[in-house]
Chains A and B, each alone.
Chain A
């Protein structure tokens, strides 16, 4: 099942929005943090994990989701949040720690929560699994439509919580899909050095569910596999696992010197940048004209610019706001 023209435009728009958003973040992040790097300073304080290169996974999967479906994201959540439809202005403001942010500055970039589109995060590896499985359970018990998708990195698959949640989802036949973004690196340790098998999709067989691995960060293959998995889940046919070979074009976090990367790896990855690849394919397939793509890119840039401006212009939270929202 190939994406329609309209779906391809949606996918491309969200990939470009995510990339431009991250480029903007990267451009601002070091403001005030130099000459001696100080993570806490500047307009965007704290750790920053960019998802450049991983955009195809988010759009290929979220193209099949609506606002009612549930997504739990990782500590590297921007592309997933954008593809799920999280409010970009509020998301930017949250990353800047502003009062207008998704949680008024309580969460920051690793803890983006948007109840309007059922999006949540955890900064802890594999810990989005349980809540996504629970949301799937909730839908099944209430006979309510909707699926839950947990995005995890390949490193999360070595966590006990991942296995527990997979077993629970399968045992209870829940409308759940686990999507593994395999960017080959758990911070500085390679998948090769940390994981006994190279294809985590094979692990699906341990839970009696379908599993598929998609090579080369291909948004079309991701779209197709996710479409099948999500419709299976919607029809009550249980959970699935999808692992995608994707590429982390940035370091683990901003400021990461990436000394652990083999010589030349990054250059090779940039040659495989999925955004120009998709652009070229759409043109070659006649799915879009140059002018249309330029319009999409310009609109994405404008949207990002507006979100960043909204974030910059927003007020800081009152310090004493820290004491509220502990309980519902």
Chain B
């Protein structure tokens, strides 16, 4: 994807560019949230928008999540296309009713007569010692509750295309971006997330996974930051003569089960990498998607590399012990073969 002289963007800049391009052509798009104006978003994904579009359309809110996310639902039903940011996914507890009882259900409760075209974006993930109220992923929580699409890009190209698609969707889309992929100066960034990103506007299909590395011996499925762990693990496995295929889910809802099944049918082995909590989550859903469909494709029991079912600790050694990483993925593969 990356060639010399091609323009590379961070995810944060790719998101901001997508929003700006859509705002230029669609007057119903506006952005609202905490610190999205002058600050440009804590994670940079609204940087530069206030200067171009002004405070009416780039609207800083009070720290009143129930009100402004509820307001986004009302504005969306009334013909606007709000993009709303709540900076940490951990904060959604204070306003969850507005999300899963209003945003996610009003299309259904209206029999499709109201549309709710809004994007709810938020950061996920840990690894920077911010402890358990600022480091969760909660992918499974949102993906579990019907009525909202859920996307999570692993690189800037996907981030831009997903954002444009999300803004054009008539259903609510939860747009989750991982902090370690944003390209912020104050937060270590995975270099693999900063990739060539075309200047023109384009969309990525919501609900379509990507095979980001082809292989024949094992399928590693992940999302967001986990994709980069998976790619590094695949490189390590290659040195040992194992060919790993890596699937980037890109979207959690709808979940592209066909791409997962096709890959596992080819490789016969499945490892799921998920920075969200292990139990009742994405990792179990991916494995069930394969096993309930056709268990005979498997040459070994599937493995999970996920966050253990404990709150996220502050001390660096404890947090790093819990987080997924490439070595854990390699070990999972080795354990799979030993069994």
Taking Cβ atoms with an 8 Å cutoff, the residues of A that contact B are: 70, 72, 101-104, 106-107, 111, 113-115, 118, 120-124, 127, 129-139, 141-142, 148, 160-161, 164-165, 167-168, 171, 324-328
* Contact with B108, one of A103, A161, A167 (Cβ below 8 angstroms): A103
A134-B62 CB under 8 A given contacts A127-B70, A141-B57? no
List B contacts of A122 (CB < 8 A).
101-102
B110 contacts the other chain (Cβ, under 8 Å)?
yes
Q: Is A118's CB under 8 angstroms from B62's CB?
A: no
Asked if A129 and B146 sit within 8 Å, CB to CB, the answer is no
Decide: A114 and B77 in contact? CB cutoff 8 A: no
Given A103-B108, A113-B114, A326-B107, is A133 in contact with B74 using a C-beta cutoff of 8 Å?
yes
CA distance A127 to B96 in the complex (A): 11
Q: B71 contacts A134, CB within 8 Å?
A: yes
Docked complex Cα distance between A127 and B28 (Å):
24
Nearest 9 interchain pairs by C-beta: A130-B70, A134-B74, A131-B74, A134-B71, A103-B111, A164-B67, A113-B110, A328-B170, A164-B64
**Contacts of A130 on B, CB cut-off 8 Å?**
66-71, 73-74, 98, 102
Q: Determine whether B115 belongs to the interface, using a CB cutoff of 8 Å to chain A.
A: yes
Q: Which B residues touch A120, using CB under 8 A?
A: 77, 106, 110, 114
**Nearest CB of chain B from residue A188's CB, rounded to whole Å:** 22
- Asked if B296 is an interface residue, CB under 8 A from chain A, the answer is no
| Bound complex: CA A88 to CA B73 (Å) | 25
B97: contacting residue among A118, A133, A161, A171, CB under 8 A:
A161
21 A-B pairs within 8 Å (CB atoms) are namely A106-B108, A111-B109, A113-B106, A113-B110, A113-B111, A122-B102, A123-B101, A127-B97, A131-B74, A134-B73, A137-B71, A137-B80, A139-B78, A141-B30, A164-B65, A171-B62, A326-B107, A326-B146, A327-B107, A328-B170, A328-B171
CB-contacts of B143-168 with A (<8 A): 146-147, 149
> What size tier do the contact residues of chain B reach?
35 or more
Let me know if A129 and B62 touch, CB within 8 A: no
Q: Given B67, B94, B109, B114, which contacts A167 in the complex, CB threshold below 8 Å? A: B67
Tell me the minimal C-beta distance from B145 to chain A in angstroms.
11
| B323 within 8 A of partner (CB) | no
Partner among B70, B106, B109, B114 whose Cβ is within 8 Å of the Cβ of A129: B70
Give the Cβ gap from A236 to chain B, nearest Cβ, in Å.
14
Q: Which residue of B lies closest to A103 (CB)?
A: B111
| A107/B71 in contact, CB under 8 A | no
Cβ contact within 8 Å between A327 and B57? no
A134 is contacted by which of B64, B76, B112 (Cβ under 8 Å)? B76
**Partner among A102, A127, A135, A165 whose Cβ is within 8 Å of the Cβ of B78:** A135
The answer on a CB contact under 8 Å between B102 and A167 is: no
B contact residues around A102 at 8 Å (CB):
110-111, 113
Q: Is the CB of B78 within 8 A of A328?
A: no
Contacts of B169 in A (CB 8 A): 328
Q: Which of B42-84 contact A (CB under 8 A)?
A: 56-57, 61-62, 64-80, 82
What is the distance, in angstroms, from A152's C-beta to the closest C-beta of chain B? Answer: 13
In this complex, which of A121, A127, A324 has the most chain B Cβ atoms within 10 angstroms of its Cβ? A127
Q: Bound state CA distance, A106 and B106, in angstroms?
A: 10
CB distance from A176 to the nearest CB of B (A): 10
Q: Is B117 an interface residue (CB 8 A)?
A: yes
* Inter-chain pairs besides A118-B78, A127-B70, 5 sampled, C-beta below 8 Å: A107-B109, A107-B110, A132-B74, A136-B74, A141-B80
Q: Which residues of A sit under 8 angstroms from B146, Cβ to Cβ?
A: 326
Given the complex, which residues of B lie within 8 Å of A326, measured CB to CB?
107-108, 146-147
Residue B220 interfacial (CB < 8 Å): no
Does residue B86 face the partner (Cβ distance < 8 Å to A)?
A: no
Is B147 a contact of A327 with CB atoms below 8 Å?
yes
Q: Which B residue sits closest to A94, measured CB to CB?
A: B111
- The answer to whether B149 and A327 touch across the interface, beta carbons within 8 angstroms, is yes
> B114 to A115, Cβ gap below 8 A?
yes
B9 close to chain A: CB less than 8 A: no
Of all chain A residues, the one with the shortest Cβ separation from B148 is A327
Evaluate contact between A137 and B62: CB separation under 8 angstroms. Answer: no
A161 to B73, CA, bound (A): 14
* Chain B hits for A129, CB < 8 A: 67, 70
Q: Tell me if A167 and B62 are in contact (CB < 8 A).
A: yes
B111 touches A328 (CB 8 A): no
Decide if B116 is an interface residue (CB 8 Å cutoff): yes
**Given A113-B110, A325-B107: A133 and B79 interface contact (C-beta under 8 Å):** no
Q: Are B171 and A104 in contact (CB under 8 A)?
A: no
Chain A CB count within 10 A is highest, among B79, B98, B170, for: B98
Complex contact B61–A168 (CB within 8 A): yes
Instruction: Give every chain A residue within 8 A of B106 (Cβ-Cβ).
Output: 113, 120
Which residues of the partner chain B approach A138 to less than 8 Å between Cβ atoms? Answer: 74-75, 78-80
Within 8 A of A (CB), among B11-52: 28, 30
Instruction: Given the known inter-chain contacts A106-B108, A135-B78, A142-B79, please indicate yes or no for A124 contacting B71, CB distance below 8 A.
Output: no
Are B74's CB and A325's CB within 8 A?
no
Task: Say yes or no: B67 contacts A131, CB within 8 Å.
Answer: no
Across the interface, do A113 and B79 meet the contact criterion of CB distance under 8 Å? no
Q: CB-nearest residue of chain B relative to A136?
A: B74
- On chain A, the residues within 8 Å of B115 by CB distance are 328
Bound complex: CA A320 to CA B78 (Å): 29
